Amino acid sequence: MTTQRVFSGVQPTGNLHLGNYLGAIVNFVKLQSSYECIYCVVDLHAITVPMSVWGGPDELRRCTREVTAAFIASGIDPKKNIIFNQSQVAGHAELTWVFNCVARLGWLNRMTQFKEKAGKDRENASVGLYDYPVLMAADILLYRATHVPVGEDQKQHLELARDIAQKFNNDFSESIAANKQPATYFPLPEPVITGPATRVMSLRDGAKKMSKSDASDYSRINLSDDADAIAQKIRKAKTDPEPLPSEEKGLEARPEADNLVGIFAALSGTPKADVLREFGGAQFSGFKSNLVDLAVAKLSPITTEMKRLSQDHAYVDSVLIDGGERANAIAEQTIKDVKDIVGFIRRK
C-alpha cells in the first residue's frame, strides 16, 4: 500500500493574502493531524515571472522567510511536518526534465493560468512560466504524494499532474515491473479542494479572484495587514443594495455578497447556511462590522507571530534547512528509482 502523503506549495512572491490562507493554509493545518505532510515554499516557481515582478534576490529571501513564518504562525508544526524551500532539493529540477519528455505540448497549451499570466505578450513570457505546471507535477510526484490541498485555481494543474503520472506509469510499465516497483509507481494525486472559501474573490470585484498581482491593495486582505487596514478594506468592500438573504440560493447572482459570506463562514469555521441563518435580512453595514471583528480576532494573532518569526532569520532558516534535509532523503529515493526505470546509469 502506498503511504498516504500530503504535499502542497506556496509561492514566495508578493504578499500572502486571505485567499492563500483560507483556500490553502487552513487546510494544511487541518491535514497535519492525519497525514505525513510536506509543505514547500516554491522559490523555483517564483522566478518564472519577470524579476521586476518577483522583486530580485533580497525580496525573494524576504518572501521565502515570510511564507515559512506564515506556515508556522498559522499552526503548522515544523517538527512533525516537513517545511522547506524547493530550490534546496535538486530532485525537483531533475524530475521536471524527465516529465518534460513525458508531458505533451498540447497538454501545456491548454493551461489557462499560463494564458492569464503571459497575457498578450506571450512571445516574451519565460520558458519557465510555460513549463510551470510540469515543475508543479514534479514537486508532488517527487514525494509520491497522494493528496494535494489547494485552492480552486490549481485544479487544472493537478489534472495535468495526474496525466503525467499516468503516462509515465504506462510508458515505462515494463521497466517499472522489471525494477520490482508497483504498476502505479506514481500515485495519481488527489486534489483536496474543500471548505467554504476555495475561491476567495477580490473585495473590489466579485468576478475577479483575490490575487497578489491585483493593482489595488483594497482588493485583498494581506496577512501582513494590521487591524485598521483590515477594517478599512472590509468596510470599503463592494456590495449590492439588498439585505443579506436567509438561504444560500439567495446568493446566486450576488457574487460580492457570496464572497463576504464565504469569508465569514471560513473564518468562523461554520457552513455558509449557518452564517445566513444568523444574518439573513441584515444590512451589509451590520454584517461587515461583525466580519471586521471576526477577521481581526482570527488574523491578528497570526499576523503578529508571522511578523515576529520573519525577523528571526536564524530560526526560520534552520526550519528550512532541517526540512530540506528530510525532504531530500525522500526525494533521493524517487530519483534513484526513476533513473533505474528510465535507464540512466547511476552511481550506486
Residues that bind ligand TYM (CB under 6 A): 7-11, 19-20, 23-24, 42, 45, 136, 139-140, 148, 150-151, 153-154, 157, 198-200, 209-210
CB atoms closer than 10 angstroms to residue 89? 27
Q: Are 23 and 194 in contact (CB under 8 A)?
A: no
Distances (CA, A) of 10 to 7, 121, 263, 272, 273: 11, 26, 20, 26, 30
CA angle centred on 234, ends 11 and 252, rounded to 5° = 85
Nearer CB in complex with ligand TYM: 192/244: 192
Nearer CB in complex with ligand TYM: 153/317: 153
From the number of C-beta atoms within 10 Å of its C-beta (0-12, 13-18, 19+), residue 104 rates as: exposed
117 is known as an active-site residue: yes
State how beta strands 36-41 and 5-10 pair.
parallel
Nearer CB in complex with ligand TYM: 19/176: 19
> Of 30, 155, 212, 298, which residue is the catalytic one?
212
209 is known as an active-site residue: yes
> Of 117, 298, 336, 339, which residue is the catalytic one?
117
Q: How far is the CB of 314 from ligand TYM (least distance, A)?
A: 25
Distance of CA 238 to the CA centre of its chain: 26
Distances (CA, A) of 84 to 41, 62, 69, 303: 6, 14, 11, 20
Q: How far is the CB of 8 from ligand TYM (least distance, A)?
A: 4
Q: What is the CA radius of gyration of the chain?
A: 21
Residue type, 36: E
Residue 15 grid coordinates: 504578499
Length in residues, the chain: 348
Q: How far is the CB of 124 from ligand TYM (least distance, A)?
A: 20
115 is known as an active-site residue: no
Nearer CB in complex with ligand TYM: 202/303: 202
Nearer CB in complex with ligand TYM: 135/176: 135
Nearer CB in complex with ligand TYM: 82/148: 148
Q: How far is the CB of 346 from ligand TYM (least distance, A)?
A: 26
Q: How far is the CB of 23 from ligand TYM (least distance, A)?
A: 2
Question: What whole-number distance in Å separates Cα of residue 248 and Cα of residue 286?
Answer: 19
| Nearest CA-CA partner of 162 in 136, 137, 132 | 137
- Give the CB-nearest residue to ligand TYM: 23
Q: How far is the CB of 173 from ligand TYM (least distance, A)?
A: 25
Phi, psi of 37 (to 5 degrees): -120, 140
Question: What whole-number distance in Å separates Cα of residue 186 and Cα of residue 146?
Answer: 9
Residues annotated as part of the active site: 117, 209, 212
